[in-house]
Structure 1
Amino acid sequence: MVFKVIGDSHPGSHYLGYVKYHPDEKGDRRLFGQTYRQNSVVSKSFGILAGRPECYVYSETLGCVITGIPREDVAVHYSCRQALIAIHEDPGAIADNPVGEDLLAISEWISSNGAQGLIGITGSFLVGCFNERSDIDLVCYGPEGYEAASKLFKQTELIRPYDGDDLTRLYLRRVKYMEGSSFDALIKQERRKRQGLTAKVGAHINCEPIRSDRDKTFARISSKEIGEVSVLAKITDHTEGLTTPAVYGIKVKTILSSTIDEPDSFARRITHMRSYLGAYTGAFRSGDTCI
């Protein structure tokens, strides 16, 4: 199985993450001589790993049980940064893939503009199970990487922004992750992100900003799960929400549902929203309302 790492704070026993690719005869990806299925929903990992209880682990940082891979079971660690450099230097079969051709044009721009090491590749092109329907999933690191990615996504000869009928395609892609968003509100949020369509074949491309290696924001944070509450909240500060993991300052406006006793008094103490999902990174700005 191939895991996608979640966050940058891990217990000594495991790397936290969810199953991104797993063996399945009904899948459409080839990896290690087998047929694999792609997964993009974090919660599905619990079912995929039902026969491997050692992959369930309690995270003090998250305050809940999550999936992960025991450190001693890791066979290969994939480096997003090194992978993109390697693809640029020796593309191999990627050069014969239509989406891969667009990726190579983008990697050439990255190399020519001194951004190698600031931007990496993840997803199917990272692990080698790409096909003609693959997206291009980039990641950038720290403020310098964010700036480089911003310049890249302004190169319209390489990447065109979502517009017209393509906006419906983008909405359908994202709405399953962004609960309660109307079409107009979600598209407004999505336009803030580094994403678009490749110029030649129109493949989806996005870039998720990751905190820099020296960023220790979450190093000493611990959490405890006490229940669930769904609220309508106003974003009061988005400065720490531009990178993954994202943290937004919020002010609760309305309680929608709760399993917590006396939620009205408790809600006043909720001042921040934290997310390890890239879908929420960079989506909100101060003054926005979210669920």
Structure 2
Amino acid sequence: MKAREGELIKTRDNVIFDVKGLVHPPNKVIAFPRFIPSPQGTRGSQKDLYGKIYSLGERFKFLEQNSPNLIVHDPVFDETLCEVPIDTIQEHYEPIEKLRLLRTSKKLSDLERKAVQLAESLKKAADIPWSAIGISGSVLVGLHASKSDIDPVVYGVENCRKAYAALENLLKDGESHFKPYSREELQVLFDFRSKDTIMSFEDFARLESRKAFQGMF
């Protein structure tokens, strides 16, 4: 099994992990829990409710309490990571395939329809093939809420360069559907990420406002 950043995996205990990076140990995948089965969850069906965990600290806490065997000090990266054995994986979610299915589906949620529109606009502006773009995040596994993020993924170095340049232009184009974050939206993002950052809001806003790969659509 080959796994890469942007893909998600589900283990036999129905926990959904997001894959990290492109390099993995033999017979394992470096990935961290993202969606966990929970009777109090607000995502999924009544039969299979899920909760979402966000910060790295929350993820490690979940692992310590539920799957401590997955916490490994990796000698290659010299870091403590979560490594999921391949033989415990029951499902592998791939962004490119998900986008293909969304594009051919006649029954989409509002967010899924918006995700397809975003992908179509980015593909056209960047002049990249459909085989290089997909949709990740909660949409990939069907656990999105009405206001969830849309997480496009672009594969290939040259395709990424073209997509980034296209996004820079789209964010500057007042007539496009791509909009940079306002200061108020950056404040919301800062509050959300404050558990994982020690920088001030001013430094955070200065840094984030220069990024072309995030904003509103």
User: What range is the shorter-chain TM-score in?
Assistant: 0.7 to 0.9
* 1:96 maps to amino acid: S
- 2:202 equivalent in structure 1: 184
Q: Which has the larger radius of gyration?
A: 1
Greater helix content: 2
* 1:183 maps to amino acid: F
The match for 1:41 among 55, 79, 83 is 55
SS in 2 for 1:154: helix
Pair 1:51–1:169, CA change in 2 (3 A): closer
Q: Does residue 71 of structure 1 match 2:90?
A: no
CA RMSD in angstroms comes to 2.3
SS in 2 for 1:162: coil
CA contact (8 A) 2:33 2:53 kept: yes
Pair 1:176–1:52, CA change in 2 (3 A): closer
Consecutive unaligned residues in structure 1, runs of 5 or more: 199-291
Q: Does residue 168 of structure 1 match 2:187?
A: yes
- 2:177 equivalent in structure 1: 158
Deviations 1:263-287 (A, max 9, x none): xxxxxxxxxxxxxxxxxxxxxxxxx
Percent identity over paired residues: 24
Pair 1:96–1:26, CA change in 2 (3 A): same
SS in 1 for 2:181: coil
Q: Does residue 21 of structure 1 match 2:35?
A: yes
- 1:62 equivalent in structure 2: 77
Q: Distance in 2 between matches of 1:167 and 1:128?
A: 27
- 1:288 equivalent in structure 2: none
Matches for 1:24-173 after TM superposition, within 5 Å: 24-30=38-44, 33-49=47-63, 50-90=65-105, 92=107, 95-97=108-110, 99-112=111-124, 113-141=127-155, 142-152=157-167, 154-155=169-170, 156=173, 157-173=176-192
SS in 2 for 1:158: coil
Q: Distance in 2 between matches of 1:164 and 1:152?
A: 19
- 1:264 equivalent in structure 2: none
CA contact (8 A) 2:96 2:135 kept: yes
CA contact (8 A) 1:88 1:108 kept: no
Pair 1:165–1:57, CA change in 2 (3 A): closer
Q: Distance in 1 between matches of 2:74 and 2:116?
A: 38
Pair 1:153–1:21, CA change in 2 (3 A): farther
CA contact (8 A) 1:56 1:65 kept: yes
- 1:226 equivalent in structure 2: none
Q: Distance in 2 between matches of 1:40 and 1:28?
A: 15
